[in-house]
């Protein structure tokens, strides 16, 4: 499913209370059905799911509930709540019925070269779950409930009021070099001291935290789970802890905080996949202040879309603005938070299926991948307009991307790709390098397709790139390391999983420490298998530390406080 799904994806809850719905679904066991010749059916007395599509294959209610939960966990992030497609292809009932259950089982089990992981070969779905999912996606998609201010305020909790929080930092941790590590399948983050490599705390969060973001001051850490739950974590406490929570919807991906001078830490903003909207909140308490729907018309065909999801958000350093990217309609919104009672928004037509992105080195231009259009859109946030649409490779997926100065072409920003094994360098300096600006100036060859993240650092001359969604085991366990002083040289390929001594795992998300001399990588095993964090010496490309703990379950993204606070990538 990542096309039928991206393994870092999730998304949708179709009953009144989102996580209660998901929890109920997870409690149901898929019955084993045995068909006997003669006599009554063994399904006599079993409650069946009543589909309104006569061509959909039969399912018991328990099977349908199981399918709904697995789709939430693994599929909806790429294919959409209503299954209309985005990063992944549409999964609409008639097309799925035409493919048939047996063909769908093959896709789900083995994945595709375009970036969809093999959920069977990676031991992320059982044979029975694959068979259930092959029938589930032939059913009409259930629609989740709406989620408004009443529901948000009912979910909002201030666990420690602002006046009860420390007036100064109460611990001896070097907060600048702390890593917030997503433990995807347990709904937690692990805070790890980057100096000592010791785990500071495990904190319960939403399910499958997509990102961790830092306040401008660096004191507060914000996480958003894919189930819409936001945690506000105070890093000044003796042991860092959650001080406020809120649920902004039933499916979410993005969060950031105000960074412009005079508004430091004042506001937080979160984007939701369902309902499709963004929410402005008090930055110190998470009190919801304003909800803005993103439902509307696509920029190009001017057709109404019921599910334009907020895919990524960044905070401007040069204006009191949030940059909000709306996936399905292809619009970038510059949201002026200087007066939220009289909110002013600049709407920029970019390209459809906007996903992840990040700043160029100057922090004037925002670079965002429109992955199903094989394009990177460049937004000039100073002028408030589209600077360019740059054609790149197949299904770009940059994370936040990464910046360096190419030895020949000057400042560049780069993205890897889900659908091919190339890395595209895009020129980003229209003033001093106008001929190279907003063009792919160089292609680097990754060790495989299925890349999710790549990273370098201003103090490094290496570029690290993963390929965790590649169908080949050796490829998805390895990283490419490029020497940026000699970009013509082939990359050094290192199997990080073997260094960790873990057989069944993907390797994902290179992240530098604050000093730029270490690279941290997630060895992401199945939920019931071993995982680890591997710390590599950036200069020598040799292992420094392998962090293992039985509580480090399904680690994915890792966010260094300093680098995240200052948008260093």
Higher pLDDT, 436 or 48: 436
363 backbone dihedrals φ, ψ, rounded to 5°: 60, 25
Label residue 34 exposed, middle or buried (CB < 10 Å: 0-12, 13-18, 19+).
exposed
**3-state DSSP assignment of residue 356:** strand
Check residue 73 and give its pLDDT: 79
Q: How far apart are CA 521 and CA 163, in angstroms?
A: 38
Check residue 44 and give its pLDDT: 52
Residue 49 in domain: yes
The token pair that represents 85 in the structure block: 């497609």
Judged against a pLDDT cut of 70, whether residue 197 lies above it is answered with yes
Residue 27 in domain: yes
Q: How far apart are CA 123 and CA 525, in angstroms?
A: 9
Residue 331 in domain: no
Judged against a pLDDT cut of 90, whether residue 25 lies above it is answered with no
Judged against a pLDDT cut of 80, whether residue 41 lies above it is answered with no
Question: Which pTM value belongs to this model?
Answer: 0.85
Cis-peptide, bond into residue 275, ω within 30° of zero:
yes
Check residue 510 and give its pLDDT: 98
Check residue 45 and give its pLDDT: 65
The token pair that represents 545 in the structure block: 């530390």
Contact by Cβ (8 Å): 553, 527: yes
Q: Which domain holds residue 105?
A: 18-136
pLDDT band at 48 (very low <50, low <70, confident <90, very high): confident
**3-state DSSP assignment of residue 126:** coil
Judged against a pLDDT cut of 90, whether residue 9 lies above it is answered with no
Judged against a pLDDT cut of 50, whether residue 15 lies above it is answered with no
Average pLDDT, the chain: 91
Partners of 504 in the beta sheet? none
Check residue 411 and give its pLDDT: 98
Check residue 27 and give its pLDDT: 36
Judged against a pLDDT cut of 80, whether residue 444 lies above it is answered with yes
Label residue 434 exposed, middle or buried (CB < 10 Å: 0-12, 13-18, 19+).
exposed
Check residue 370 and give its pLDDT: 97
Residue 155 in domain: no
Q: What is the CATH number of the domain that holds 98?
A: 1.10.760.10
What DSSP letter does each residue of 515-560 carry, written as one string? Answer: TSSEEEEEEE--TTS--EEEEEETTT--EEEEE--TT--SEEEEEE
Lowest-confidence pick of 42-46, 379-383, 504-508: 42-46
Judged against a pLDDT cut of 60, whether residue 31 lies above it is answered with no
Partners of 446 in the beta sheet? none
Residue 39 in domain: yes
Residue 232 in domain: no
Q: How far apart are CA 168 and CA 73, in angstroms?
A: 39
**3-state DSSP assignment of residue 159:** coil
Q: How far apart are CA 498 and CA 473, in angstroms?
A: 11
The token pair that represents 308 in the structure block: 């334009």
Q: How many domains does the chain have?
A: 1
pLDDT band at 13 (very low <50, low <70, confident <90, very high): very low
Taking residues 417-442, report their average pLDDT.
98
The token pair that represents 430 in the structure block: 């229209």
Q: Which positions are annotated as active-site residues? A: 75, 78-79, 116, 355, 397
DSSP class of 240: -
Residue 59 in domain: yes
CA distances to 9, 227, 269, 351, 556 from 527, rounded to whole Å, are: 15, 18, 31, 36, 12
204 backbone dihedrals φ, ψ, rounded to 5°: -70, 135
Instruction: Tell me how far the alpha carbon of residue 350 is from its chain's centroid.
Output: 21
pLDDT band at 39 (very low <50, low <70, confident <90, very high): very low
pLDDT band at 359 (very low <50, low <70, confident <90, very high): very high
Using alpha carbons, select from 547, 523, 564, 543 the residue that is nearest to residue 199: 547
Judged against a pLDDT cut of 70, whether residue 429 lies above it is answered with yes
Label residue 16 exposed, middle or buried (CB < 10 Å: 0-12, 13-18, 19+).
exposed
Taking residues 436-462, report their average pLDDT.
98
pLDDT tens, 217-267? 999 999 999 999 999 999 999 999 999 999 999 999 999 999 999 999 999
Q: How far apart are CA 58 and CA 138, in angstroms?
A: 10
Lowest-confidence pick of 45-54, 129-138, 324-333, 339-348: 45-54
Judged against a pLDDT cut of 70, whether residue 527 lies above it is answered with yes
Check residue 116 and give its pLDDT: 82
Residue 540 in domain: no
Taking residues 53-59, report their average pLDDT.
92
Contact by Cβ (8 Å): 532, 544: no
pLDDT tens, 258-317? 999 999 999 999 999 999 999 999 999 999 999 999 999 999 999 999 999 999 999 999
Contact by Cβ (8 Å): 470, 435: no
Contact by Cβ (8 Å): 330, 299: yes
Contact by Cβ (8 Å): 477, 497: yes
Q: How far apart are CA 253 and CA 530, in angstroms?
A: 26
pLDDT tens, 140-183? 988 888 999 999 999 999 999 999 999 999 999 999 999 999 99
Q: How far apart are CA 536 and CA 468, in angstroms?
A: 18
Check residue 32 and give its pLDDT: 34
pLDDT band at 50 (very low <50, low <70, confident <90, very high): confident
């Amino acid at each position: 499913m990542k096309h039928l799904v991206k393994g870092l994806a999730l998304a949708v809850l179709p009953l009144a209370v989102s996580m209660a719905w998901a929890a109920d679904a997870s409690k149901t066991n898929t019955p084993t059905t045995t068909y006997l010749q003669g006599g009554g059916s063994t399904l006599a007395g079993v409650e069946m799911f009543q589909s309104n599509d006569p061509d959909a294959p039969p399912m018991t209610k328990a099977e349908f509930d199981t399918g709904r939960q697995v789709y939430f966990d693994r599929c909806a992030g790429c294919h959409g709540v209503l299954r209309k497609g985005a990063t992944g292809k549409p999964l609409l009932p008639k097309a799925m019925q035409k493919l048939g259950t047996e063909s769908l089982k093959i896709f789900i089990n083995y994945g595709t070269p375009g970036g969809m992981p093999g959920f069977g070969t990676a031991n992320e779905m059982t044979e029975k779950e694959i068979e259930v999912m092959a029938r589930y996606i032939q059913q009409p998609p259930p629609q989740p409930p709406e989620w408004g201010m009443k529901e948000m305020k009912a979910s909002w909790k201030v666990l420690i009021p602002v006046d009860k929080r420390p007036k100064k930092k109460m611990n001896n941790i070097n907060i600048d070099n702390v890593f917030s590590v997503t433990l995807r399948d347990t709904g937690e983050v692990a805070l790890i001291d980057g100096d000592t490599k010791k785990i500071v705390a495990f904190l319960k969060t939403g399910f499958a935290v997509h990102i961790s973001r830092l306040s401008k001051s660096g004191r507060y850490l914000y996480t958003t789970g894919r189930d819409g739950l936001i945690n506000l974590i105070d890093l000044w406490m003796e042991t860092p802890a959650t001080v406020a929570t809120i649920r902004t919807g039933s499916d979410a991906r993005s969060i950031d905080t105000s960074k412009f001078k005079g508004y430091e830490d004042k506001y937080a903003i979160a984007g939701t996949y369902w309902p499709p909207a963004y929410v402005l909140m008090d930055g110190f308490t998470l009190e919801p202040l304003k909800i803005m729907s993103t439902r509307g018309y696509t920029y190009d065909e001017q057709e109404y879309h019921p599910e334009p999801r907020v895919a990524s958000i960044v905070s401007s350093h040069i204006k009191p603005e949030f940059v909000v990217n709306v996936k399905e309609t292809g619009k970038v919104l510059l949201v002026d938070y200087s007066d939220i009672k009289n909110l002013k928004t600049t709407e920029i037509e970019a390209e459809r299926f906007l996903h992840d992105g990040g700043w160029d080195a100057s922090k004037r231009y925002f670079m965002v991948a429109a992955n199903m259009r094989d394009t990177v859109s460049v937004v000039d946030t100073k002028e408030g307009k589209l600077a360019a649409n740059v054609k790149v490779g197949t299904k770009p997926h940059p994370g936040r991307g990464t910046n360096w100065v190419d030895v020949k072409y000057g400042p560049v920003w780069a993205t890897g790709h889900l659908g091919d094994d190339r890395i595209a360098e895009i020129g980003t300096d229209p003033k001093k390098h106008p001929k190279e600006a907003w063009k792919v100036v160089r292609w680097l060859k990754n060790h495989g397709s299925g890349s999710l993240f790549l990273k370098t650092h201003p103090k490094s001359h290496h570029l690290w790139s993963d390929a965790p969604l590649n169908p080949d085991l050796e490829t998805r366990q390895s990283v490419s390391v490029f020497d940026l002083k000699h970009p013509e040289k082939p990359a050094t390929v290192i199997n990080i999983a073997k260094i960790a001594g873990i057989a069944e795992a993907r390797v994902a998300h290179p992240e530098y420490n604050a000093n730029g001399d270490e690279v941290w990588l997630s060895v992401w095993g199945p939920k019931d298998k071993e995982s680890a964090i591997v710390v590599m010496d950036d200069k020598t490309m040799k292992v420094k530390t392998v962090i293992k703990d039985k509580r480090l379950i399904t680690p994915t993204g890792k966010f260094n406080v300093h680098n995240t606070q200052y948008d260093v990538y």
